[in-house]
Amino acid sequence: MSDLQQLLSKIAELEKRNHELSLMLESAYELRSEMTEQQHPVSMSVIYSLVLALDSRDPYTAGHSSRVALYSLWIARELGLPEEECRHFHRAAIMHDIGKIGVPDRVLLKSDSLNDEEFEIMISHTVIGARILSRMEPEERMLQATEVAKYHHEKMDGTGYPEGLRGDNIPFFARIVAVADAFDAMTTDRPYAKGRSYREGVDEIIRCKGSHFDPVVVEAFESVMKKRGYLEGHHHRHLQEADVD
């Protein structure tokens, strides 16, 4: 790789990191505005501390919870849901992976493929998360948060986990988080692999419309990502792999 290629690669990495930090700040701003509007039974400061504790265990996925919650919020708004409902949902979405607190580091931080036993431990985070959140109040919000935590890895064709739910049997808000979560996972760099470009991530979500993801949610996702410039910019992988003479 030439010096110019290395420079372009470094610039692309810094641009992507700056974008990720901007998303974290936007998500934090959304949370802060929700906290100041009214007093909530669930302390958002405690929830956010738990999320930060979770993210701090794995530096390569730090900010994942905030980004997924923000993407989910964008989709919910694009679907035309009432703003109050969107804000409640944002708080539920930020806790979608809270069950990973119960996953041991040897599994959570493993840099290569999981064996069958480790995979079973990893997927248990959905059930653990639902159990942790089951004591939330009020009951209506508890149900939404537990459904999101438990079912955001279900797929429309029934091949997901933990229960292999199919189609409309998957709770609606979990279907939104499923898209946001998958997109962020695909576009995040890991020690063993570079994340896809944002455009590639959007294309993959669209490719899995109907099989893995709710078509209505995917259409809203594609629309909002187009409006926010994800289909034109942030092609960090393409810059890194560019053939510069």
Partnered with residue 213 across adjacent β-strands are 209
Q: Which pLDDT tens digit goes with each residue over 151-199?
A: 999 999 999 999 999 999 999 999 999 999 999 999 988 766 788 999 9
Cα–Cα distance measured from residue 105 to residue 230, given in angstroms and rounded to the nearest whole number: 33
- CA 74 from centroid of its chain's CA atoms: 12
Structure-derived torsion over alpha carbons of residues 102, 100, 43, 41, reported in degrees to the nearest 10: -80
pTM for this predicted structure: 0.80
Tokens 């099989």 correspond to what residue? 211
Tell me the per-residue pLDDT of 55-107, one tens digit each, with 9 for 90 and over. Answer: 777 776 778 998 999 999 999 999 999 999 999 899 899 999 999 988 998 99
- What span, in angstroms and rounded, lies between the C-alpha atoms of 182 and 101? 20
The count of residues in the chain is 245
**120-142 confidence digits (pLDDT tens):** 999 999 999 999 888 877 777 78
Contact 145, 133 (CB under 8 A): yes
